[in-house]
Amino acid sequence: MITLERNSPGTATVGRRLMAAIAFGFSLIAVNAADAADTFRHLKGKEIKAKFAGMDFTDDVHWADAFGRDGRIVRYDMGKKNAGKWRVEKGQLCISVEREETCYQVWISDTAVQLRDPDGTFFLEGVLQKPSARD
């Protein structure tokens, strides 16, 4: 255990070194998180349509959205299947399922995709992949 005592300069030095090491560790974590955030690229209108048409957006376990080339979408969510429509409007991906429409900014890094609310308060993350056979 390290204790800091006013009359013991040696332990204070050890304490300062420990605190500096911890601060350096936190700065590395912050830099790595910033680097990871930088790997995502914001997609624009035509790019969104080109990437999503004919593909599945999924977490590969609980849910999947199958994006038809004709603007139809089939949502599979925990055993439930719902149909809807999708389109690109004002540079955002808009999805309408069960009388509810939500539009998202689309961010991509290889096959990883984030659908973000325009105000940035929420995002859904999954992967884009070729369609899977489903029941």
Q: Which tens digits make up the pLDDT trace of 108-131?
A: 998 899 999 988 788 999 999 999
**More confident site: 36 or 80:** 80
Residue 52's Cβ-count burial label (10 Å; 0-12, 13-18, 19+) is buried
- Cα separation, 52 vs 8, in Å, equals 65
Query: Which of 11-20, 44-53, 117-126 has the largest mean confidence?
Result: 44-53
Assess contact for 106 and 84: CB atoms under 8 A: no
**Closest Cα to residue 76, out of 87, 62, 86?**
62
- Cα separation, 68 vs 56, in Å, equals 9
Assess contact for 114 and 41: CB atoms under 8 A: no
Q: Give the pLDDT band (50/70/90) at residue 32.
A: very low
Query: pTM for the whole thing?
Result: 0.70
DSSP class of residue 51 equals H
